[in-house]
């Protein structure tokens, strides 16, 4: 089976590709290796994947429809897992055009290719940010039409575009709303990575909204488990292919202060905390209701925060020691 993973040099893309390869799939990974964050980290992730002969990489920008179609011409993809995107809420305030390009134009290219080459199932990354500042436990039945950042707008647009392509062309589509993913090989632009770096180097850390934020931190292995369950999930398909959206989260939100206390204990060093006001585009709290994916697939996240952070810090120290 040929599987296309877009954004394969990214944090989630690398872990997912590794999982698929371990199960014997042929994985074709694409990425444009852009410089939004340290490109060496992306290259090192790729280096690990390249060790497996069942992995093939192409440096392709998903906004380039000709290259994308050529790729679909070359490989008979059974399923596509689309993770490539311009990520990050805060950067969408600085550089909004990057989000429209990669996340909207790029997603349209993938939809067009899936339509033209009759891909049986498209799974794509959405985000908890589509819920905006909704403070409820976030279920897929909640309203998701008040995004507070352009990043969130592009992710919600993807869900609407997937709905339309499912309706028009009967493509099976599964949107995955990830909740704050952390773990080894993670993203240096994310707060937990920056906190770790600063605490280890004895530099101050910045706590937005005076530390009064809550996040449903989800360990990478639990995210990969959720993706794989949806990837393998067989649904009753008559004539109409399903179009679904699922939360993939931990369903145990922690305050930023508790998160940092845990990180301090794992590192064995106190943080110097600077409290700042709320940042534009941020949400106050995320809390995933995971009953939909649990009822459909049996999904149950397992990794406790202490364990996940210990694994992350161990990787971080080891990875940066080699530099």
Ligand X SMILES: NC(=O)c1ccc[n+]([C@@H]2O[C@H](COP(=O)([O-])OP(=O)(O)OC[C@H]3O[C@@H](n4cnc5c(N)ncnc54)[C@H](O)[C@@H]3O)[C@@H](O)[C@H]2O)c1
User: Would you state the structure tokens that stand for residue 231, as one six-digit string?
Assistant: 């990837």
Q: Which of 25, 131, 151, 182 is catalytic?
A: 151
- Asked if 13 contacts 5 with a C-beta cutoff of 8 angstroms, the reply is yes
Instruction: Compute the least distance from the CB of residue 92 to ligand X, in Å.
Output: 10
* Helices and strands of the chain, counted as H and E runs: 12, 13
State which of residues 3, 4, 5, 12 lies at the interface with ligand X (CB under 6 A).
Answer: 12
Angle, CA of 165, 172 and 3, to the nearest 5° = 110
The residue at minimum Cβ distance from ligand X is 10
From 3, 4, 5, 10, residue interacting with ligand X (rule: CB under 6 A): 10
Q: Strand 77-82 relative to strand 181-182: parallel, antiparallel, unpaired?
A: unpaired
Catalytic residue at 91? no
Q: Which is nearer to ligand X, 187 or 233 (CB)?
A: 187
Q: What angle do CA 27, 28, 32 make, to 5 degrees?
A: 135
CB closer to ligand X, 83 vs 309: 83
Beta bridge partners of 2: 26, 77
CB 212 within 8 A of CB 206: no
Could you tell me if 146 and 156 are in contact, meaning their C-beta atoms sit under 8 angstroms apart? Answer: no
153 binds ligand X (CB under 6 A): no
Cα Rg of the chain, angstroms: 19
**Binding residue for ligand X, selected from 20, 49, 84, 191, defined by CB under 6 A:** 84
293 binds ligand X (CB under 6 A): no
- Spatial neighbors of 49 by CB under 8 A, at least 6 apart, are 8, 14, 17, 18, 21, 27, 29, 55, 57
Select from 180, 196, 262, 286 the one that contacts ligand X (CB under 6 A): 180
Distance (Å) of CA 144 to CA 11, 72, 124, 153, 271: 26, 32, 17, 10, 36
Binding mask 95-124 for ligand X (x = CB under 6 A): -------x---x------------------
Residue length of the chain: 323
Nearer to ligand X (CB atom), residue 21 or residue 204: 21
Taking contact as CB under 6 A, which single stretch among the options 18-26, 56-64, 132-140, 287-295 is the one that binds ligand X? Answer: 56-64
Q: Give min distance, CB of 106 to ligand X, in A.
A: 5
**Backbone torsions φ then ψ of 5, nearest 5 degrees:** -115, 115
- Binding test (CB under 6 A) with ligand X, winner from 17, 18, 29, 32: 32
Q: Is 125 in the site for ligand X (CB under 6 A)?
A: yes
Q: How many residues bind ligand X (CB under 6 A)?
A: 27
Catalytic residue annotation = 151
| Residues near ligand X, by CB under 6 A | 7, 9-13, 31-34, 42, 61-63, 83-87, 102, 106, 125, 127, 178, 180-181, 187
């Amino acid at each position: 089976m040929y599987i296309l993973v877009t954004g394969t040099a990214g944090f989630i893309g690398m872990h997912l590709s590794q999982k698929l390869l371990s199960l014997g799939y042929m994985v074709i990974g694409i990425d444009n290796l852009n410089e939004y964050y340290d490109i060496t980290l992306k290259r090192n992730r790729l280096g690990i994947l390249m060790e497996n002969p069942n992995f093939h990489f192409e440096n392709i920008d998903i906004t380039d429809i000709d290259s994308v179609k050529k790729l679909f011409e070359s490989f008979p993809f059974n399923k596509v897992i689309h993770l490539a995107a311009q990520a990050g809420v805060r950067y969408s305030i600085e550089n909004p055009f990057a989000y429209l390009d990669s996340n909207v134009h790029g997603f349209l290219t993938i939809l067009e290719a899936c339509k033209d080459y009759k891909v049986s199932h498209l799974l794509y990354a959405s985000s908890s940010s589509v819920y905006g500042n909704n403070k409820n436990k976030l279920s897929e039945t909640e309203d998701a039409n008040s995004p507070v950042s352009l990043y969130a707008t592009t992710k919600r647009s993807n869900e609407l575009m997937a709905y339309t392509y499912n309706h028009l062309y009967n493509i099976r589509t599964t949107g995955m709303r990830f909740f704050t993913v952390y773990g080894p090989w993670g993203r240096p632009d994310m707060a937990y990575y920056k906190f770790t770096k600063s605490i280890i180097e004895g530099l101050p850390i910045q706590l937005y909204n005076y530390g009064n934020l809550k996040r449903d931190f989800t360990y990478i292995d639990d995210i990969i488990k959720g993706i794989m369950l949806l990837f393998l999930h067989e649904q009753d398909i008559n004539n109409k292919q399903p179009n679904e959206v699922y939360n993939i989260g931990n369903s145990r939100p922690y305050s930023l202060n508790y998160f940092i206390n845990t990180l301090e204990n794992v590192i064995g060093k106190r943080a110097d905390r600077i409290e700042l006001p709320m940042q534009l585009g941020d949400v106050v709290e995320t809390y995933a209701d995971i009953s939909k994916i649990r009822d459909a697939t049996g999904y149950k996240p397992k990794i406790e925060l202490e364990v996940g952070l210990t694994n992350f810090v161990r990787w971080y120290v080891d990875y940066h020691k080699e530099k």
